[in-house]
Amino acid sequence: MIGFLLDIANISGGVLLGLATLDKWDGESNFFNKIAGFLAPFQTIIGSVLLVLAFLRLFKGHNLLFNIISVLGGFLLLTHVIAKAPAFRETLLKLSDKLMPFKAIIGLGLIVVGIFGLF
């Protein structure tokens, strides 16, 4: 059950993070824009699910690479929440700034990880 929920969160988070690239592939139909518009209000929930479930699976010894991609994706989806946290704000914002150029790559990686997880 945890694995299935993580796979759905991976795909959803991947669509949100990889929207710029997916939109180029989509052309005129705006399919991915419509999906991202539906998922955007749930960005914080999706990011939280990615972080928590990926950490849980990481400690249980599941695939390291897949879980690291999920953690990075969850972290990028929660950047707006992290900016409000006073404790580690500067460090986390610096990390987020370093990951932002790879946002689309991480998003596409999340989609791939989610699809592989479903099979």
Which residues form the domain of 94?
2-118
User: What integer best gives the mean pLDDT of the chain?
Assistant: 85
pLDDT (mean) for 65-90: 83
Q: How many domains does the chain have?
A: 1
Categorize the per-residue pLDDT at 85 as very low, low, confident or very high, splitting at 50, 70 and 90.
Answer: confident
Q: What is the pTM of this model?
A: 0.85
pLDDT in tens, 26-72: 777 788 888 888 888 999 999 999 999 988 888 887 778 888 899 98
- CA gap 19, 72 in Å, rounded: 16
- CA gap 107, 100 in Å, rounded: 11
